[in-house]
Amino acid sequence: MGPTVAVVAQGAMGAGVGGRLAEHGVRVVTSLEGRSEESAKRAKAAGMVAVSDQELARADFFLSILPPSDALALAEKMAGLIGNSNHKPVYVDCNAVSPPTKIEIGKVIAKCGAPFIDVGIIGLPPQKDGSGPWLHASGPEAQRFSAIGPYGVNVNIIDGPVGAASALKMSYAGITKGVTALGAMMMLAATRNGAAAGLRGEFDRNQPNLLPWFQRAIPAMYSKAYRFVGEMDEIADFVGDDPAARKMFEAISEFYTRFAADYEGKQEETAALTEILKKKN
């Protein structure tokens, strides 16, 4: 029999990873307490079974896949349940937080006696064509996570302490989501100043490889901008020894905050970016 894996929560990545594991015969459990109807629908579609928090604590692996700001609170909640039980699940924190935050989460879990693994997820949620993200794991217990690999997920064990996988995630996300924000900022600036058509023409002539990347990455960002805010804040902490880099990612966090409000509201900036990026016949 395969392991029982708890996955919290049921966002695009959590439901995607949970669904991929369920497809390969893993019993995947989750908690729907306080979750939205959409979360419940994603969980059901993914084959995730809703159980009590106490039963989550009895899983073989517990995967935390949340917005960064919720990661520590979940660890504290689960540590209270795990600490009162003889069973200790392997607690796997997959959240996009800085290495110091991941180490703090690890200390919370260590106090309740459970093994802890740092995981950084890089890539899109699992797709219907079988592709999926890479789950990079680090820390003294990281080899335990190899047991998940045969069940349809891409696992890579990093030779490093807790925080190493998060450092990889922060570095990669800082580049990809930072470039996405930079591209969006400058396209909006061009639009405000009447240069949108000219900028698009220069992309067509001089950046034929970069344009398709923006056409994919920027629209994909629209509905997720609100989630990027906390991640950019964590990256700002990650690069904190470089004052200029810290200021840059704090500014990117502000941009994603503003853009998320636009997407949920008038969608003026959303429409401007869609116009400049639209594919030509």
Rounded distance between C-alpha atoms, residue 74 and residue 79, angstroms: 8
Residue ranges, the chain, pLDDT below 70: 281
In the DSSP assignment, the letter for residue 127 is -
Local structure of 138: helix, strand or coil: strand
Chain region(s) in the chain for CATH 3.40.50.720: 4-160
The whole model's pTM is what? 0.94
pLDDT at 197: 96
Helices (H) then strands (E): counts for the chain = 11, 8
> Does the domain at residues 167-277 carry the CATH identifier 1.10.3470?
no
Rounded distance between C-alpha atoms, residue 257 and residue 243, angstroms: 21
Span 37-67, pLDDT tens digits:
999 999 999 999 999 999 999 999 999 999 9
Q: Where are the beta strands (DSSP E) in 130-229?
A: 134-138, 154-157
Q: Which two tokens stand for residue 281?
A: 């016949």
Q: Which residue has the tokens 């400049």?
A: 276
Asked if 37 contacts 11 with a C-beta cutoff of 8 angstroms, the reply is: no
Phi, psi of 32 (to 5 degrees): -105, 10
pLDDT at 34: 87
Count other Cβ atoms within 10 Å, centred on residue 72: 19
Rounded distance between C-alpha atoms, residue 207 and residue 189, angstroms: 18
Q: From residue 185, how far is each of 80, 90, 188, 189, 195 by CA, in Å?
A: 44, 41, 5, 6, 13
Rounded distance between C-alpha atoms, residue 275 and residue 144, angstroms: 48
In the DSSP assignment, the letter for residue 112 is T
Q: Which two tokens stand for residue 244?
A: 């200029």
Rounded distance between C-alpha atoms, residue 180 and residue 174, angstroms: 10
Chain region(s) in the chain for CATH 1.10.1040: 167-277
CATH architecture of 4-160: 3-Layer(aba) Sandwich (3.40)
236: left (phi over 0), alpha (psi -120 to 50) or beta: alpha
Rounded distance between C-alpha atoms, residue 93 and residue 59, angstroms: 15
166 alpha-carbon distance from chain centroid:
11
